Amino acid sequence: MGRYTARRLLQLMPVFIGTTFLIFALVFAIPGDPIRALAGDRPISPSTVATLRDEYNLDDPLVIQYAKYMVGLVQGDFGKDYNGREVTDIMAQRFPVTIRLAVVAFLFEIAIGLVAGVVAALRRRSYLDTLVLVTTTAIVSVPTFVLGFSLQLLLGVKLSWFPIAGISQGWYSYLLPGFVLGALSLAYVARLTRTSLVENLRSDYVRTATAKGLSRRRVVGRHALRNSLIPVVTYLGIDLGALMGGAIVTEGIFNLPGIGQQVFLSVRAQEGPVVVGIVTALVLVFIFANLAVDLLYGVLDPRIRYE
């Protein structure tokens, strides 16, 4: 397992370099001059422009810029934005919001998605099963921004049950946006759990467990569920990475000062260093979430061996 982990970490290198280079090139390709954008309508002296262009290596070819950026990155230096703020400071301020949002969304996925899936599987073809089927289909069909605005309008504006925007009420502020963010995955988790459990309930070893004289609760809870959760846990693990980076729309709707909102603002302001820095951090989160899932897989399913 140690060797496997080491090899996987080595394999991550090209993935990391490839993705970051791609992001770097894309940001580089955004039309317009960032220094001009920084100044807005005010006049700016050519010497200032030259100093700034030099400081941010803007006159170097793309590959050299990228190389210089990576050298800094390896030393933990994510660079500065065009106002001179450290990108790491911006991330330190923004990431906690996104992490809280992701955690709430993740808990919704587990609490509601898993339970709905298990109930649907155990009561197959019942009223409850149909309810889960219809609800999840509806959730999957509706885009996040429609769901977000609708719930914001209904539960926030009309009923005043939840704050409409911002994070002034602590964790409570995250409930509604967390649900919106987690809704799609919640539906998938429910479907995945149901399918997987239904399949396992028909399996030979579940029949064996019943033939052993075990209670239904033990047969389902210990024997069937343990096997059924393998694909679900895999999905959840990968999704945790996705939740961190995929919150641009949700953070926008609920005006949460998180990473997604920052990326959106930075792209508009052509703040290349911030965009690249944040997305690079997200790439790292993704890569490690994937590695963690692959390792967890072996723990959950003893048939999987790491060579």
Assess 130 for contact with another protein (CB under 8 A).
no
Segment near another protein (CB under 8 A); pick from 131-139, 187-195, 196-204, 290-298: 196-204
Q: Report which DSSP code applies to 214.
A: -
Instruction: Give me 105's structure tokens.
Output: 């969304």
Assess 210 for contact with another protein (CB under 8 A).
yes
Three-state DSSP state, 258: coil
Min. distance of Cβ 126 from another protein in angstroms? Answer: 12
Residues pairing with 86 in the sheet: 80
Assess 209 for contact with another protein (CB under 8 A).
yes
Hey, which residues between 272 and 301 contact another protein (CB under 8 A)? 300-301
Assess 205 for contact with another protein (CB under 8 A).
yes
Among 93, 135, 195, 203, contact with another protein (rule: CB under 8 A):
203
Instruction: Give me 230's structure tokens.
Output: 């393998």
Q: What is the distance between the alpha carbons of residues 8 and 12, in angstroms, rounded to a whole number? A: 6
Min. distance of Cβ 59 from another protein in angstroms? Answer: 59
Query: Is residue 152 within 8 Å of 253, Cβ to Cβ?
Result: yes
Assess 123 for contact with another protein (CB under 8 A).
no
Nearer to another protein, 209 or 285 (CB): 209
**Phi and psi, residue 306, nearest 5°:** -95, 120
List of residues 6+ apart from 55 with CB closer than 8 A: none
List of residues 6+ apart from 118 with CB closer than 8 A: 193, 194, 197, 225
Q: Is 274 exposed, middle or buried (0-12, 13-18, 19+ CB in 10 A)?
A: buried
Residues pairing with 80 in the sheet: 86
Residue at 30: amino acid letter: I
Assess 307 for contact with another protein (CB under 8 A).
no
Min. distance of Cβ 170 from another protein in angstroms? Answer: 40
Nearer to another protein, 93 or 203 (CB): 203
Assess 266 for contact with another protein (CB under 8 A).
no
Assess 122 for contact with another protein (CB under 8 A).
no
Long-range contacts of 146-150, Cβ-Cβ distance < 8 Å, separation of 24 or more: 147/180, 147/183, 148/177, 148/180, 148/249, 148/250, 148/253, 148/254, 149/253
Assess 170 for contact with another protein (CB under 8 A).
no
Nearer to another protein, 93 or 210 (CB): 210
Assess 208 for contact with another protein (CB under 8 A).
yes
Binding track over 213-252 against another protein, x by CB under 8 A: xxxx-x----x--xx--x----------------------
> Which residues sit at the interface with another protein, rule CB under 8 A?
202-205, 207-216, 218, 223, 226-227, 230, 300-303
